[in-house]
Structure 1
């Protein structure tokens, strides 16, 4: 528990104590100051009475030498007296009769002397000077029962101010000592009767938080805090009884909940499986739908081109002019045949891709000498490569083991990779076809070109069905986008693996492996 209550109590005690002691100190100093000033006024009155006693007749007051001796005697007896003036009135007009300094009677002094003379009473005032405060006391002069003038006695308050300051210092020191002791005693008293019981009750609440319902608050008091402690103990007892009943109820409820939870968990698992399957199926359907749309768009375009050419050339050949010109007729027939082969290859790619995706493509596996496959590729593809103004390179490692493959499908893979390379390699470039043994288990085939290369952001999709690096209908390189996906499917179906390396602007190398006959045995 944070000690905020103690701080609040200390603050309240300090404020109250400070106010009480400050008030008492102020009253004491004020009373002391007033008493001291009153004593000085009384002293001045006594001096005036002494002077008055020495003047019995008007003749006495006219004796300046005697009066001056009386004044000097009084000043000598009391060092606090600065000066004594005797002021006489003639027809209510003030005339300074005897004074050491005639210039000191100012308007304020004349006023207070006149008021004392007319009202027959002792008056006083305090003025501030550069050195100290000065108390001026004015008393009437009585001669034969009549008021003939006033005594003006000026007394310095320098000594009294020093006494007041010393008294103030003593009072302040006493004030702070008593304040500290009072606060300390009051704080410990309040802490014992208020703070400690509250902390004890708070410990009880903390125990309840930690589920310690056997905790009891022991406070021996008949006041409100004691009643609060008894109420707290009763609350814990009720809470403990309720907790016991709740546990019994929870045991029964827990059994039912577990049974129902098992049923719900079972249903949830089933629903999760169903949802997962539905989501996977939905993703596949979306992917298939996207592939279907792409395929329809590409296939329609690819099929339309050769069909349009065949239709156009057939119409031209049907004219009398072309029928008579055998040279043109042969040229058009050659073009028709070329577009028919192109159309046939597209349809074959579509059929092969469909069979691979359905797992219904059958292979005619046989043991094959790699040299036979290599020579056939070299003889057929050399011409295709050179037609594009590209340099062909063929390399075959000696003493390669035989492989078990479908020769037609293997040639299809190699042909697709080489034709693909010609599409993306400019004139003056180079395409190489190499075959070598990777290890005792596999033979590795490589088709390398110095063409455009494949952009990094498109390399991960290169073996996808219907995918083309340039998928626009206005692309330079024509094709269905099925060639590389078919190559991948055929290689894997024959037990091999296909991959590639490409750097944009430097070319691409496709690799694939085929297991040897010894490995398959």
Structure 2
């Protein structure tokens, strides 16, 4: 019943739309002639704009090149010296660059100096002085001239020193001209660029309009603005209206044939697919979608769209679940962050209050201060991780490749971490490579060290009894360096492996809660390894320990064979009286420096900003060392060292900064600082630096 009711409606739709089509066709025919004129007019205007833009674009390289050459101090010197050898070797070799036949130079008095032509131009000096007067006003100008060899395109520029960007006409040193001959080769190139037929016309020739062609003229003007000729650009106008009536008969006959075919096949080709579409829209029937995809023509495409729409709905549902999970994880992360920050802050505030407001003996006071110091370090570590993760997320981190002695790097890390392990029940072992690096390698040593330190710190943190080992192997065949960090600690559940490197996820357990932290170390390590072009992976079983593997590309800096440098143990000795300048705008930080150094034999003076630091360093030759704050008013530490170093290159200048990322450290080294110390200040690190450089 539905088919019988619907089919007459479809038939009536076909007939009525056909009648409408015929009426519409005759109406369109009426306006065809009118449209023909409008189309022709618009085409000519568009063609004219296109030609002028293409000609401007074709001249652009010459204008850019001549602007660079004419604003060149060496060219200014040539005008004065008239050194022919310099011109031939420097400017004369640029004929091919300019794609020109003539390069010429004139002095400030508009006298001819020299030229470099191709054999096609014999004329020596043909640039009018009025053209040079025009260059005094406009700087650069393109115009056309008639010379015995034919019409030429001339691009001229006034020559100025590089310190005269505004091209002050009072500083004009001379004039430089680039000449291109408008010969057969020039026209062929122009025809290719504009996809047009080009014809040269006289200055007074009027362009005739042709029915099947569009044309535009480009006037060739000399330096006075006088038209000396025209370039006629023509292109075929492939729009014909004469066959419209004949096409009408063909269309009408074709229409009736197609109408008959439509009546026969409407049910199979139109109604049935429309019915399938109705079923899909009403119920989302998957079987109807499948049948619709098997239909012919556009209905098959519609079936594909329905299927894609269903898939997208499923993807949206999945994405919504993931977004909700992400929100939940972020909320959990923020709650954990709040807890981790409040824990050391609670200790700092609480024990500080006890020291200030209660009567305690020296032993208790020392115990409380140790707790405050440890809590402060934990707080700084949390903030450093958050800042580093923020920089990674905003793509502000980039590798700083340097030449690295890999054996020394690994040995130094081993010795450094070894002395920090408080647990005597943990055996810390460095696995020697079976094939050590034969040459220095190229990598970012700061990020490499940070990855190893993060992995070793985690391994030690979650291992109560047993051992922690690390080492590397060289894989020259695949050009890789493979690092391994292994522990016999608690291990990680296999279900957590896929989330272990995610920044908002942490394996929550009694031990992880006990040791604290945000769990960003592994996320930062993964980001660093991938930044260096490598990969990181994990093997772990609960109760048996964990093994982290990561690889980075092997790039040798092939110089002499390397030797492992021993780890230097600094011998701290008390120096004689030395004069130290502390550039620090913060009163509390300066007071801290004073209190740390009050029992040492040092004389201290202070600068409260960068400018004052520069004045003191340059005015007092007795200063032996400078502790320079990076962020100061009036003049920063970076600006101050730029002025101090040229005058006192041997003065040790140590940067003190609250920034601690690898990029900040690299920036400090590039600025020329002798060394650096980070805030919060470490007393032992301070005295180590003072002993080293004094």
Instruction: Please classify the TM superposition score into its range, dividing by the shorter chain length.
Output: 0.3 to 0.5
Higher relative contact order (CA 8 A, sep 6+): 1
Relative to its length, the structure with more helix (as a share) is 1
The two structures have a TM-score, normalised by structure 1, of 0.46
Q: TM-score, normalised by structure 2?
A: 0.35
